[in-house]
Amino acid sequence: MEFFFPTKQDFEAAVESSVRRVVSDEVPKAVSQALKSESLDTDQCMEEYGWDKRRQQYLRDSGQISYYKVGRRILYKRADIERFLDERRIAAETQ
């Protein structure tokens, strides 16, 4: 059995490469997720999910999605929208 003992420079280079990858790939995702607010208004819903105002109105009127009305402003809980989408997810067929 053979063993590989990297030099200090090789080890540091490997660690640096791994840290750079994590920082460039994973940190922005985590920051983006953390910055997402718990609720969305109609414009944010349109931007993030592509639902125009008419579609949102239909989903509210048909009772398919919960919402809050604060004055004239409509708000949706992000968790409710995600749950709505997850319930309608169609899994890929495996062969």
Q: How far apart are CA 38 and CA 40, in angstroms?
A: 7
pLDDT score, position 18: 86
**What's the pLDDT tens digit per position in 73-94?**
999 999 999 999 999 999 888 7
* Residue 67 CA, distance from chain mean position: 20
* Sequence-separated (6 or more) residues with CB below 8 Å from residue 45: 51, 56, 76, 81
Cβ–Cβ under 8 Å, residues 48 and 40: yes
Q: How far apart are CA 40 and CA 35, in angstroms?
A: 12
Q: Would you say the pTM of this structure is higher than 0.95? A: no
Assign 53 a pLDDT band (cuts: 50, 70, 90): very high
Answer yes or no: is pLDDT of 1 > 80: no
**What's the pLDDT tens digit per position in 13-32?**
988 988 888 788 887 777 66
